[in-house]
Every structure is written in structure tokens, then in C-alpha cells.
């Protein structure tokens, strides 16, 4: 588990519109800073160690859309080497 600084992670379907005015890329950018803090253990939320915990967090904390965005889940799983 750690940040991949040398190798950028690919975000699949980044321009896909998830909900009115929000693309997959918009959601990634919105969630990235909080995810970095969590995974660096600089948050009150403990770092994620499983796909199910990460998925549940994203669904609950992403704005407007309360279903899984698979591209977003997969992006963060790879970024932080979870699972």
C-alpha cells in the first residue's frame, strides 16, 4: 500500500458522464485529496485494506451519486495497491 509517484495510474472512461455535469474524472479529482490523506494515515478514517471498504467509502462520500463508479473504485485500488 502506497502512493505510486513514478507511474501515473490510468483512469478508464475518464470523460464518461456519471451524473449531470460530473464525469468520472471530476469524481476522481474531487475524491483524490481526501483519499491521499486517508491512505497516508493523516485522517480520522483508517487507511483502506480491502476493496469492499474502499467501495463503501466512495459510495458514501462521493457527491450526488450514491452508487459505485467502477472506474473510480478501480483507479484507487490500483493507486494504493489495495487488495
Residue 40 lies in a domain: yes
Residue 7 lies in a domain: no
Instruction: Give the residue carrying C-alpha cell 458522464.
Output: 17
Please report the DSSP string for 54-70 in residue order.
HHHHHHHHSSS--S--H
The Cβ of residue 26 has, within 10 Å, a number of other Cβ atoms equal to 17
Residue 11 lies in a domain: no
Residue 49 lies in a domain: yes
pLDDT in tens, 14-56: 999 999 999 999 999 999 999 999 999 999 999 999 999 999 9
Residue 34 lies in a domain: yes
Residue 10 lies in a domain: no
Question: What is the pLDDT at residue 68?
Answer: 97
The whole domain housing 46 covers 17-79
**Into how many domains does the chain fold?**
1
> Is 76's pLDDT higher than 70?
yes
Residue 35 lies in a domain: yes
Residue 69 lies in a domain: yes
Predicted TM-score (pTM) of this structure: 0.85
Amino acid at each position: 500500500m502506497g502512493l505510486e509517484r513514478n507511474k501515473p495510474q490510468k483512469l478508464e472512461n475518464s470523460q464518461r458522464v456519471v451524473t449531470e455535469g460530473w464525469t468520472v474524472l471530476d469524481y476522481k479529482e474531487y475524491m483524490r485529496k481526501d483519499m491521499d490523506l486517508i491512505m497516508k494515515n493523516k485522517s480520522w478514517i483508517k487507511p483502506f485494506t480491502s476493496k469492499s471498504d474502499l467501495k463503501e467509502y466512495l459510495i458514501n462520500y462521493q457527491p450526488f451519486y450514491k452508487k459505485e463508479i467502477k472506474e473510480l473504485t478501480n483507479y484507487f485500488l490500483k493507486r494504493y495497491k489495495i487488495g
